[in-house]
Amino acid sequence: MTERTNNFPPLPKFLKVKPCFYQNIEEEIPTQHQRLVRRIFTLWIMYSVTLCLNVIGCIAWWAAGAHGSNFGYSLLWLIIFSPASYVCWFRTIYKAIRADSSFNFMAFFFIFFLQLVLAIIQCIGINNWGICGWIATMTFFRYNVAAATVMLLTTLLLTLVTVLMALVLIKVHRLYRGIGGSVTRAQEEWGAGTWKSAPAKGAPSIVDQTAQGHSLPEYPAAVPNYLDNRSW
């Protein structure tokens, strides 16, 4: 097997910092699930872009007379939650579908549910939290319409991302229930340590067998007799 070179995040070659992960959806993810994984990856990009726009919205918020702590917190949201969301829930579902791992599926459900709750709180927009949510945006329209309009763009995009997160959670849960996943199987993987490694390329998995309707081949119990028994 050829050694795989990490390719994500894509960084310029002149930097001493190298990519941390190997990501190849076409090679590692079963064909029937590649579309879902690409959509989840796009969702992560949308969430990261939303956090970037939130920084701009908080700058406008600050420039129009709001507290400067909102800008500082918005930078903190971007620096921490953009890479953390990739590592904690996108890589988790990526490994779950790649390796047909019930443990990683369960980890994804737990982490992604917390992410969804956090996104809902961000949509609410509590003041001085560094997020341009609905409460903060609608309240600030009374003071500065231009700044509140910039904040509203971030709020609308964050609301869209939150809705898409809920749909992804439902979609992945249906997929997991369809392949017969369970907490017991996840505990068995944890005890055996099989959740750490992916199956060999080309090996059938429960996800593939369920989607394609295939089962493992059956071999005859008796060994056939060959006509030519001469030594070779």
CA distance 210 to 180: 9
136 or 128: whose pLDDT is higher?
136
Residue with tokens 């429960």: 206
- Give me the phi and psi of 26, to 5 degrees please: -65, -35
Q: In which band, very low, low, confident or very high, does the pLDDT at 191 lie, cut at 50, 70 and 90?
A: low
In a domain, 91, yes or no: yes
- Choose the most confident range, by mean pLDDT, from 40-49, 64-73, 134-143: 40-49
In a domain, 58, yes or no: yes
Which range among 57-71, 134-148, 200-214 shows the weakest confidence by mean pLDDT? 200-214
Helix (H) or strand (E) holding 27: helix 25-28
CB 164 within 8 A of CB 123: no
The reported pLDDT for the residue numbered 152 is 94
Tell me how far CA of residue 68 lies from CA of 64, 72, 75, 80, 145, in angstroms: 10, 7, 12, 19, 18
**Mean local confidence (pLDDT), 72-99:** 93
Which range among 39-48, 137-146, 165-174, 219-228 shows the weakest confidence by mean pLDDT? 219-228
CA distance 190 to 81: 27
In a domain, 22, yes or no: no
Which range among 25-29, 142-146, 208-212 shows the weakest confidence by mean pLDDT? 208-212
In a domain, 90, yes or no: yes
- The domain of 122 spans 33-190
What is the total count of domains within the chain? 1
The reported pLDDT for the residue numbered 188 is 62
Burial code (b: 16+ CB inside 10 Å, e: under 16) for 154-184 equals bbebbbebbebbeebbeebeebbeebebeee
In a domain, 165, yes or no: yes
Which range among 81-85, 159-163, 221-225 shows the weakest confidence by mean pLDDT? 221-225
The reported pLDDT for the residue numbered 200 is 40
How much of the chain exceeds pLDDT 70, in percent?
75
The reported pLDDT for the residue numbered 183 is 57
